[in-house]
């Protein structure tokens, strides 16, 4: 099981909260796609001929690519890698891009999973976020996609801004459920330093909502979505049976993946590498065919252990003690067993046979608990 990620670093507008790598100038779009094609050639040995099960166009806003651009990238991938016939092929799109014409195009390209960035159903909040769509437009875009035959649709939501309260969050969740999508990713808003929100927070024009309120929204979300047959399979992700994101699940399960495009990360089981987060530099350095466009680090046993603890505990599959015992030295395992006991007693962690998962109470403190379990 291996995956391919392609980062498309362009957006129409800068969202107030987002610190992913993107540019709002589309001038370099054509040359950047050419560089991605070159990078695919340059790195064709990276996954050692492993079969590809998932392809994920992320961003930025991949729905800004023309049909030809997306086609060229997919064609290059199919020529370079062995891609399984039933591969999951996801493309992140913004509601305002999803015209009937665009959806026809995505069908022709055989994209079989759409990830639509709705974020909110409150028009005032959408304006505050600097999104390019209204709530009505986003609902209509999901319906249009379903009418065009896309059945595997996931939506992104963000909760915990100053607009969030329990009453309107319940309405948001009901609206999301009513859209009949198969998957929902819902993120607690984080205030990132190098964003408009981060700036406004620094000058005290914005305040963060308190943890207690966030926790209330999080628990409400689990309750409402689970009652509607969504399975909470990762802290921020809910899927109907058979519709978990295969691509993201593979990240959490430590499978190998290759990332193309500026800022994209790759992992081959031993090392992690990440491309430069600058479009001009990426284009220049890829054309020079040197290895200057990425940085690489070989993971130490300690780093691999901590990563496994962090990601596995956040998922429904949990942390497997047998995996720890076969892959890490006994001191690390001992340290884990010592620390985890406290959280089992506090009912934040549940042990069933050799599998450790977070309880609902534990999910509220996922990052803190993971960091206490680190070596």
Ligand X SMILES: C[S@@+](CC[C@H](N)C(=O)[O-])C[C@H]1O[C@@H](n2cnc3c(N)ncnc32)[C@H](O)[C@@H]1O
Please identify, using beta-carbon distances, which residue of 42 and 140 lies nearer to ligand X: 140
| 189: contact with ligand X by CB under 6 A | yes
261 counts as binding ligand X under rule CB under 6 A: no
The interface region with ligand X, picked from 184-192, 217-225, 311-319, 348-356 by CB under 6 A, is 184-192
**Residue 59 interacts with ligand X (CB under 6 A)?**
yes
The only residue of 142, 158, 310, 340 in contact with ligand X, by rule CB under 6 A: 158
Give the CB-nearest residue to ligand X: 117
CB closer to ligand X out of 61 and 357: 61
Cβ nearer to ligand X, comparing 53 with 156: 156
| CA dist., res. 249 & res. 237, Å (int) | 10
The least CB distance from residue 158 to ligand X, in Å, is 5
Q: How far apart are CA 8 and CA 29, in angstroms?
A: 9
* Of 189-197, 252-260, 330-338, 365-373: span binding ligand X (CB under 6 A): 189-197
- Tokens for 37, please give them: 């094609």
Distance CA 119, CA 125 (A): 9
Please pick, from the candidates 165, 190, 322, 329, the single residue that binds ligand X as defined by CB under 6 A: 190
92 binds ligand X (CB under 6 A): yes
Dist. CA 149–CA 23, nearest whole Å: 31
The correct pick among 53, 96, 97, 156 for binding ligand X (CB under 6 A) is: 156
CA 78 to CA 82: how far, in whole Å?
7
Residues with Cβ within 8 Å of residue 35, at least 6 apart in sequence: 282, 283, 286, 287
- Which of 67, 137, 192, 307 binds ligand X (CB under 6 A)? It is 192
Which residue, 53, 93, 50, 56, is CA-closest to 73? Answer: 56
Q: How many residues sit in the footprint of ligand X (CB under 6 A)?
A: 16
> Which residue number, 161 or 285, has a Cβ lying nearer to ligand X?
161
Point out which residues pair with 10 in neighbouring strands.
23
Interaction of residue 5 with ligand X, rule CB under 6 A: no
Q: Is 329 in the site for ligand X (CB under 6 A)?
A: no
Query: Which range touches ligand X (CB under 6 A), out of 38-46, 48-56, 188-196, 204-212?
Result: 188-196
d(CA 259, CA 72): 16
Residue 186 CB, shortest distance to ligand X, in Å, is: 8
61 near ligand X, judged by CB under 6 A:
yes
C-beta neighbour count of 43 within 10 angstroms:
17
Taking CA atoms, 44 is separated from 110, 258, 279, in Å, by 23, 10, 21
Give residues 10-49 in contact with ligand X (rule: CB under 6 A). 15, 17-18, 20
Of 59 and 262, nearer to ligand X (C-beta) is: 59
In the complex with ligand X, the residue whose CB is nearer, 118 or 283, is 118
Q: How far is Cα 347 from Cα 344, in angstroms, rounded to an integer? A: 5
Q: Is 73 in the site for ligand X (CB under 6 A)?
A: no
Which of 2, 23, 54, 94 binds ligand X (CB under 6 A)? It is: 94
DSSP state of 302: H
Q: Are 106 and 115 in contact (CB under 8 A)?
A: no
Report the nearest approach of ligand X to the CB of residue 157 (Å). Answer: 7
Alpha-carbon distances of 201 from 189, 195, 196, rounded to whole Å: 13, 10, 8
Least distance to ligand X from the beta carbon of 10, Å? 9
Choosing from 28, 67, 170, 187, the residue that interacts with ligand X (CB under 6 A) is 187
Interface residue with ligand X among 117, 259, 262, 318 (CB under 6 A) is 117
Give the alpha-carbon dihedral of 129, 260, 148, 127, to 10 degrees: 10
Quote the tokens at residue 76: 């290059």
Alpha helices of the chain — where are they, by DSSP H?
A: 29-42, 67-80, 100-108, 123-129, 135-147, 166-178, 196-202, 211-227, 246-252, 279-287, 301-313, 321-327, 330-345, 360-363, 366-373
Residues in the site for ligand X, rule: CB under 6 A?
15, 17-18, 20, 59, 61, 92, 94, 117, 119, 156, 158, 187, 189-190, 192
């Amino acid at each position: 099981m291996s995956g391919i990620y392609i980062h498309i670093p362009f957006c129409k507008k800068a969202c107030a909260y987002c610190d992913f790598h993107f540019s709002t100038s589309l001038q370099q779009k054509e040359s950047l796609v050419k560089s991605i094609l070159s990078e695919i050639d340059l790195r064709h040995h990276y996954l050692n001929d492993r079969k590809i099960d998932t392809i994920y166009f992320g961003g930025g806003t991949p729905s800004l690519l023309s049909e030809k651009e997306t086609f060229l990238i997919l064609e290059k991938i199919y020529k370079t890698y062995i891609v399984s016939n039933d591969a999951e092929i996801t493309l992140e799109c913004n509601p305002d891009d999803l015209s009937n014409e665009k959806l026809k195009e995505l069908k022709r390209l055989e994209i079989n999973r759409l990830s639509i960035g709705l974020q909110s159903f409150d028009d005032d909040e959408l304006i505050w976020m600097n999104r390019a769509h209204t709530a009505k437009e986003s609902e209509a875009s999901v319906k249009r996609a379903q009418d065009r035959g896309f059945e595997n649709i996931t939506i992104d939501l963000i909760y915990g801004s100053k607009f969030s309260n329990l009453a309107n969050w319940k309405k948001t969740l009901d609206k999301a459920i009513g859209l009949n999508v198969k998957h929902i990713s819902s993120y607690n808003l984080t205030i990132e330093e190098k964003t408009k929100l981060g700036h406004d927070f620094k000058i005290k024009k914005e305040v963060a909502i308190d943890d207690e309120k966030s926790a209330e929204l999080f628990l409400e979300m689990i309750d409402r979505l689970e009652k509607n047959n969504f399975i909470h399979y990762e802290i921020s992700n809910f899927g109907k049976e058979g519709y978990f994101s295969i691509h993201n699940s593979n990240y959490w399960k430590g499978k190998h993946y290759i990332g193309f495009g500026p800022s994209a990360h790759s992992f081959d089981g031993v090392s992690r590498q990440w491309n430069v987060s600058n479009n001009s530099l990426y284009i220049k350095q890829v054309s020079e065919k040197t290895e200057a466009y990425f940085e690489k680090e070989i993971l130490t046993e300690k780093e691999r252990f901590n990563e496994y603890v962090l990601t596995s505990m956040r998922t429904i599959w949990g942390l497997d003690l047998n995996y720890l015992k076969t892959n890490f030295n006994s001191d690390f395992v001992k340290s884990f067993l010592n620390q985890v006991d406290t959280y089992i007693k506090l009912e934040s962690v549940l042990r069933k046979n050799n599998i450790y998962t977070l309880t609902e109470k534990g999910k509220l403190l996922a990052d803190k608990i993971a960091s206490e379990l680190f070596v």
